[in-house]
C-alpha cells in the first residue's frame, strides 16, 4: 500500500474494534497514530503494539472525550508531540444499554448523547482550531446505519444520537470546506466487534446475519479500509458524505 506521507492521525476509541483496526491499517500506510482511550488501558497498549509491529509510531493518550478540559489537554499534547494533526477519526461511541423507549430515563438518554455526540462536538472543535490555520485536514466521523433504521432492538436513543452525528458531519463539511478541511462520515452496518459482544446476544446475532445480503456480518477491518480511503488523497473531492458500509443491509 502506498505511503500516505506520514500523516498524523488522532483516533478516539482506539483501544478496540474499529478504532484499533483503523490504527493498524493507517500505520501500514505510513501514518503516525495518536490512540485515544478512556478506560481500556490494556486494549490501548495492544493497539500501540499492533501499530509498532506495522512499522508505525503510536502515542497513547488517556482522556474522557465528554470532558472539555481533558479533550483540550489531549489535543494540545498531541500537537506538542507531532506538531500538527492531519486526520481526526471520531470513533468513540457506545449504546450504553438497550432499552425500550418507555423505559429510557433522562440519565440514559443524556449519557448516550454525551458519549456519541458531545464527544464529537468537543474533539472536533478542539482539533479544527488547529487545522484551520494550516488550511488542511480531514475529519472522519463514525456513525451507524441505526440512524436511518430508527433503532431496532431497543436502541432508539442510540439511533437518535447517531442521527445527530450525521447532521453534525454534513454541517461541519459545509462550514470547513472553505478552509481546506474535508469532513465525511461512515455508517457501519452489523459489525462483529466488542460492541456487539457487549450489546447483542448470540440469539440476536444469529437472527440478523442471515438478513445481510452479502451473507456475513462485517468486521472492524471492513470499516477501517474505508477510513484509510477517506484519509487518503483518493477522497480529496469528497465532503459531507455518510458512506454506508453494511453488506447491503
Domain boundaries in the chain? 8-188+220-244
Three cell numbers at 218?
A: 462485517
- Please give the torsion angle defined by the CA atoms of residues 64, 66, 70 and 72, in that order, rounded to the nearest 10 degrees: 140
CATH T-level topology, domain 8-188+220-244: Rossmann fold (3.40.50)
Q: Which residue has the higher pLDDT, 138 or 203?
A: 138
Mean pLDDT, residues 194-218 taken together = 84
Predicted local distance difference test score (pLDDT) of residue 203: 84
Annotated active-site residue in 37, 84, 113, 158: 158
Q: Check whether 2 has a pLDDT greater than 80.
A: no
Residue 88 backbone dihedrals phi, psi, to 5 degrees: -110, 125
Predicted local distance difference test score (pLDDT) of residue 151: 83
| pTM reported for the whole predicted model | 0.94
How much is the mean pLDDT over the chain? 95
Mean pLDDT, residues 69-87 taken together = 98
Predicted local distance difference test score (pLDDT) of residue 1: 38
Name beta bridge partners: 9.
Answer: 33, 87
Is residue 84 annotated as part of the catalytic site, yes or no?
no
Amino acid at each position: 500500500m502506498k505511503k500516505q506521507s506520514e500523516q498524523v492521525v488522532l483516533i478516539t476509541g482506539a483501544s478496540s474494534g474499529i478504532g484499533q483496526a483503523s490504527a493498524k491499517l493507517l500505520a501500514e500506510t505510513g501514518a503516525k497514530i495518536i490512540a485515544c482511550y478512556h478506560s481500556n488501558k490494556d486494549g490501548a497498549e495492544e493497539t500501540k503494539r499492533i501499530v509498532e509491529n506495522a512499522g508505525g509510531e503510536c502515542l497513547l493518550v488517556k482522556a474522557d472525550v465528554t470532558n472539555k478540559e481533558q479533550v483540550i489537554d489531549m489535543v494540545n499534547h498531541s500537537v506538542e508531540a507531532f506538531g500538527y494533526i492531519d486526520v481526526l477519526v471520531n470513533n468513540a461511541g457506545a449504546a450504553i444499554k438497550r432499552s425500550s423507549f418507555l423505559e429510557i430515563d433522562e440519565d440514559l438518554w443524556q449519557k448516550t448523547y454525551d458519549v456519541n455526540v458531545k464527544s464529537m462536538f468537543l474533539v472536533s472543535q478542539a482539533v479544527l482550531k488547529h487545522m484551520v490555520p494550516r488550511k488542511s485536514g480531514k475529519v472522519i466521523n463514525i456513525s451507524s446505519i441505526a440512524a436511518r433504521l430508527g433503532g431496532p432492538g431497543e436502541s432508539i436513543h442510540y439511533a437518535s444520537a447517531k442521527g445527530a452525528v450525521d447532521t453534525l458531519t454534513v454541517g461541519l463539511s459545509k462550514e470547513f470546506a472553505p478552509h481546506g478541511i474535508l469532513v465525511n462520515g461512515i455508517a457501519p452496518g452489523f459489525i462483529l466487534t466488542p460492541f456487539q459482544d457487549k450489546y447483542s446476544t448470540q440469539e440476536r446475532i444469529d437472527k440478523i446475519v442471515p438478513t445481510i445480503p452479502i451473507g456475513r456480518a462485517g468486521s472492524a477491518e471492513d470499516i477501517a479500509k474505508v477510513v484509510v480511503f477517506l484519509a487518503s488523497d483518493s477522497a480529496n473531492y469528497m465532503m459531507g458524505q455518510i458512506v454506508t458500509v453494511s453488506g447491503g443491509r
